[in-house]
Amino acid sequence: MADSFVLSLAIPLEVRLGERYWLEVPGEHLRDRQLDMLALAAQSQWPGLVASLDGSGGLVNNLRVWENLILPAWYHHAEPLARLEQVLLTLFDEIGIAEDEAAKLCQGLPAALAREQKRELALVRAAMLEPCCLVVDGDWFGFLSYGRGLDCRALFDRLTQSAVTFVAAAYPPPVPGYRRLVLDEAGQLIVSGDYEAA
């Protein structure tokens, strides 16, 4: 697979696998609109290989957690369920969730979970897809800075090494390594250099 791609936006945006892009946008509505636009463009480039990390976790409340985590990967990759379940257990272990706790989590519904747990599980679901693109809400990204999110940081960093990553937030990136995405006067996204280390 090539490592450079052009996303079909109003002004085509050239991106590379492994690069991380940050869009600083103050309004939540505008951030959501930009993330939706990027996800749609990425989905046309990489069907079924675009993962979204939403501030609320983005899990479907009337499906068990197991279904939320396994079914997207099963649908897009058509792997045997036994293999996907083994990958799921490995990912749980990677973020510090023991097998017995994972089994209890998987049987429940997302509505019974705390927001932090939903964000953690959203990352696991994203990892199950082996995405070429991650679309990340700034509220979700903030989760990596505290509590259980600290245990998820290594998995997130690993995913970003092989995917194009877009983050939209009301604040600049707290860590270096992000290319700056800006909205020009016409409202089009363009790359405008790199963020400097804080």
Cα–Cα separations (whole angstroms), residue 181 to 19, 20, 25, 124: 12, 10, 10, 26
Position 159 scores a pLDDT of 97
As for how many domains the chain has, the answer is 1
- pLDDT surpassing 70 at residue 56: yes
- pLDDT surpassing 60 at residue 103: yes
Question: For the domain that residue 181 is a member of, what is the CATH number?
Answer: 3.40.50.300
Position 4 scores a pLDDT of 62
| Helical axes 81-94 vs 65-77, angle rounded to 10° | 120
**Cα–Cα distance measured from residue 7 to residue 45, given in angstroms and rounded to the nearest whole number:** 7
**30: containing domain:** 4-194
- pLDDT surpassing 90 at residue 5: no
Please tell me the total number of residues recorded for the chain in this structure: 198
Q: Which of 21-35, 45-59, 119-133, 181-195 has the lowest mean pLDDT?
A: 181-195
Global confidence as pTM: 0.90
Q: Read off the pLDDT of residues 69-84 as tens digits, 9 standing for 90 and up.
A: 999 888 887 788 889 9
The DSSP symbol for 76 reads H
The model's confidence at residue 63, banded by pLDDT at 50, 70 and 90, is very high
